[in-house]
Amino acid sequence: MENQNNIPLLVIRRMTKYHKYLMKLVNNDVVSISSKKFGEIIGFTASQIRRDLNYFGDFGTQRLGYNVKDLLIEINGILGLLKKHNMIIIGANNIGKAIANYTRYEQLNFKLVGIFDVNPELIGLTFQNIKVLDIDNLVSFLKEIPTDIGIICISKNYAQTVTDMMVENGVKCICNITPVDLNVPKEIILENINLTNSLLTLKCLMNARTY
């Protein structure tokens, strides 16, 4: 994945955390906050926060700190949270079902528009008022309903094939929840969520302590 603005991926990941806590502050009617105080809440240093935010613009004032609402609006803009993005789920298994039934993404302007599978036992089921379609319908679906994001949690044997189908039909971002390392063109944004890697990382970290 190429980030053309050279904003480090780790900064962008931290931005999602800033957003989460700014929402909490706004909900608690906090008007302004210093980078020091904000850092204490999130668990980052004040300088870290100032460095991160400087990638996107000049926020806050030396004396008054950050205006919470303004900062949230700015970060909403940075994260594109106000833009609606169509999303499909490939795989109607337990994970696909859990994701389909997970409501918070709607508040973040992700719109689930389709769910697909190859398994006849799953095709035809309905989650969140969306009927699981046969993967054979994917290409015609994408031609009809432009979709930015595809979440893949289908059996690994199909993962690359389905990814290619999505990429060839306008999907810009792939969220890969299969154990497969997917090949995508460099302009495609790929996010991997891999339980096995996470468990292996835990193992390695446990072991590194006594290494």
Q: Minimum CB separation from a second copy for residue 141, in Å? A: 20
Interface region with a second copy, contact rule CB under 8 A, candidates 73-81, 113-121, 132-140, 157-165: 73-81
User: What is the distance between the alpha carbons of residues 178 and 159, in angstroms, rounded to a whole number?
Assistant: 7
Measured over the CA atoms of residue 168, residue 149, residue 157 and residue 114, the dihedral's sign is negative
- Give CA torsion, residues 67, 72, 77, 81, to 10 deg: -170
- Of 26, 46, 108, 118, which one interacts with a second copy (CB under 8 A)? 108
Interface region with a second copy, contact rule CB under 8 A, candidates 65-73, 103-111, 114-122, 161-169: 103-111
Of 5 and 62, which has the nearer Cβ to a second copy?
5
Q: What number of chain residues touch a second copy (CB under 8 A)?
A: 59
User: What is the distance between the alpha carbons of residues 56 and 5, in angstroms, rounded to a whole number?
Assistant: 10
User: What is the distance between the alpha carbons of residues 64 and 46, in angstroms, rounded to a whole number?
Assistant: 14
Sketch the per residue contact string, 110 through 149, with a second copy: x for CB under 8 A, - otherwise. Answer: x-------------------------------------xx
Q: Is 63 in the site for a second copy (CB under 8 A)?
A: no
Q: Minimum CB separation from a second copy for residue 67, in Å? A: 21
Of 80 and 124, which has the nearer Cβ to a second copy?
80
> For the chain, how long is the longest CA-to-CA vector?
63
Question: By the criterion CB under 8 A, which residues form the site for a second copy?
Answer: 1, 3-5, 7, 9, 12-13, 15-17, 19-20, 56, 78-81, 83, 85, 87, 93-95, 97-99, 101-102, 104-105, 108, 110, 148-149, 172-173, 175, 179, 181, 189, 191, 193, 195-209, 211
